[in-house]
Amino acid sequence: MALTLVEAAKRSNDKLQKGVIELLVKDDPILSRLPFKDVTGNGLTYYEETTLSPANFYDPNDTWVEGTSTVTQFTAHTKILGGDADVDNYLAKTRGDQSDLMAEQVIAKTKAMKRAFLDAFYYGYFTGGNTKDFDGLQYLLRRSTSGSANTIAVATSSGTSLALSLERVEAAKDLNKGGDADVVVMSKLMRRSINKYLNGVGGITKADIQGKTVQTLFDVPIVVTDHLRNNESADVQYGSNEASTAVYGHNYADADGDDDDGGTSMFFLRFAPEACCGIQSLGITTDRIGNLETKDAKRTRIKWYPGLMLQSLISCSKVTGIDADGTVAA
């Protein structure tokens, strides 16, 4: 069974642990929606669906044709994420309530863990040699042996950037199979570029999602994040093998020195155990270690063993190679 962190917090009897989980998901549309499977060991081997199983109509006495979905075996790895929150005993004695000081340190450490997780959620690359990270979305959507999967590339064959058209965005949305996307994720700069066009044509739409009014794009709630870069390299977006081909070639030189002329990506994500889903071999825990030997301080350790899996490549999609502050057209 896969639970969101919101549901996990409701089941926790440890006040500190519950507070850490609630802070992790607070005001974050990814961590509040992403389900997590508990796994035994340091990873989960699963079969990823890349094409749907076919079915046919037959006449009497026809020869039936065997057809199955295409699957590939992958392993999602969990990694160690955490940090120590220390409070100096002198400060605790001279500045007042020690629990308040510890709470400040725990809050700061939890926010740092959230940033680290979300960075890896998009750009983690354990398979590529960054062994402290788990594999993130950019890698999971480009590990297909036939090239980047469920991807619309905004580039010409000569490597020249193209203006983003909303038609291409809608085409990426339509690549999703098995259910509608829960969110479309983009950088803040990308949203501003899209809204500049939409404001001109009166096309901004909104909906009430989980009690909040949010902007939508093709009826999918928009999520903006500081963790998606506007200067992604071709290798990040397409992989080293595909980056030099005519299909995916793209020039990411920074023309004006403002570090935003590289590519950015947008993701249509569906959160479910059979789609985009987190894994964890240890839920978020808080260990009260107490007094330290090496310094006069008390320590609380926060740790989590998370990972990410994409069990169906056709459940999520992306538009990539976008000039985030470029012109947006219909």
Q: What is the DSSP string of 100-159?
A: HHHHHHHHHHHHHHHHHHHHHHHH--TTTT-TTSPP-HHHHTT--TTSSSSEEE-B-TTS
Beta bridge partners of 307: 279
Closest CA to 107 of 226, 26, 9: 26
What is the reported pLDDT for 98? 62
- The segments of the chain whose pLDDT lies below 50 read 145-146, 241-261
Q: Residue 313: its pLDDT value, please?
A: 81
- Cα separation, 102 vs 295, in Å, equals 16
Q: Which residues contact 324 (CB under 8 A, 6 or more apart)?
A: 187, 189, 190, 193, 230, 260, 263, 264
Report which of 3, 1, 4, 9 is spatially closest to residue 286, judged by C-alpha positions: 9
The pLDDT value given to residue 177: 85
Sorted by where each begins, the domain ranges of the chain are 2-55+69-131+276-310, 149-270+317-329
Question: Would you state the structure tokens that stand for residue 275, as one six-digit string?
Answer: 């789609």
CATH entry 3.30.2400.10 includes domain 2-55+69-131+276-310: yes
Sign of CA dihedral 170, 173, 177, 182: negative
Residue 116, class by beta-carbon neighbours within 10 Å (0-12 exposed, 13-18 middle, 19+ buried)? middle
d(Cα 256, Cα 260) in Å, to the nearest integer? 9
pLDDT at 243: 38
Tell the burial category of 16 from Cβ atoms under 10 Å away from its Cβ (0-12, 13-18, 19+): middle
Q: Rounded distance, CA 117 to CA 134, Å?
A: 9
3-state secondary structure of 309: strand
Query: How remote is the C-alpha of 214 from its chain's centroid?
Result: 19
Query: pTM to 2 decimals?
Result: 0.85
Enter the tokens of residue 47.
């079969």
Q: What are phi and psi of 123, to 5 degrees?
A: -120, 5
